């Protein structure tokens, strides 16, 4: 048992490794919030969204065919998830830097290892998620382009 009265070591809160673990955990939570958060917002059904995309493609094709200028889209507010998408990898990098500082200050190696692991996990999960979304978006566009004849026949 540790005698608190004679404890001469530094408190964990004053160690860079502790902050590395904490910031790495926050970064990982932000990544998961970014993945799940937008799905919690109310949205139209998938069929309605695909129909809107197909209708927009049809309008754009007719405007290009008739040589008309396309109307300017209305400005929309920036959702908070865009900021979360930026903050998560930045905090992951901060966790890595603090882990490096912890190693250089010869603190407990476990703090540095855990912080680096959480920071790397946040960065990797974020980019894997974006790659997955890009691949699924390409599949959706291919499906729409394959059915473009059905769109113009209406």
In a domain, 43, yes or no: yes
In the structure encoding, which two tokens stand for residue 37, read together? 């958060």
User: Has residue 143 got a pLDDT over 60?
Assistant: yes
19 confidence band (pLDDT: 50, 70, 90): confident
Residue 2 in domain: no
Reported confidence tier of residue 70, pLDDT bands at 50, 70, 90: low
Q: Is 51 a member of any domain?
A: yes
How many domains is the chain built from? Answer: 1
Is 3 a member of any domain? no
Residue 124 lies in a domain: yes
pLDDT tens per residue, range 98-118:
999 998 988 888 888 999 999
71 domain residue, yes or no: no
Q: How confident is the model at residue 9 (pLDDT cuts 50, 70, 90)?
A: low
Dihedral angle, C-alpha 126, 129, 131, 135, nearest 10 °: -170
For residue 29, name the pLDDT band (cuts at 50, 70, 90): very high
Q: Is residue 83 assigned to a domain?
A: yes
Give the structural domain span for 27.
Answer: 14-66+79-152
Sorting pLDDT into bands at 50, 70 and 90, what band is 14?
A: confident
**Domain assignment of residue 74, yes or no:** no
Annotate 34-58 with DSSP letters as a single string. HHHGGGGS----HHHHHHHHHHHHH
> Is residue 108 within 8 Å of 142, Cβ to Cβ?
no
């Amino acid at each position: 048992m540790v005698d608190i009265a004679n404890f001469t070591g530094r408190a964990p809160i004053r160690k860079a490794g502790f902050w590395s673990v904490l910031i790495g955990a926050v970064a990982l939570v932000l990544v998961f919030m970014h993945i799940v958060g937008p799905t919690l917002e109310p949205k139209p059904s998938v069929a309605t969204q695909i129909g809107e995309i197909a209708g927009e493609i049809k309008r754009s094709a007719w405007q290009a065919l008739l040589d008309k200028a396309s109307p300017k889209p209305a400005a929309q507010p920036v959702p908070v998830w865009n900021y979360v998408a930026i903050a998560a990898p930045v905090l992951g990098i901060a966790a890595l830097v603090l882990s490096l500082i912890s190693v250089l200050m010869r603190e407990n190696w476990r703090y540095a290892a855990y912080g680096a692991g959480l920071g790397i996990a946040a960065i990797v999960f974020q980019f894997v998620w974006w790659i997955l979304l890009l691949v699924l978006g390409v599949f959706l566009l291919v499906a729409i382009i394959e059915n473009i004849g059905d769109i113009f026949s209406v």
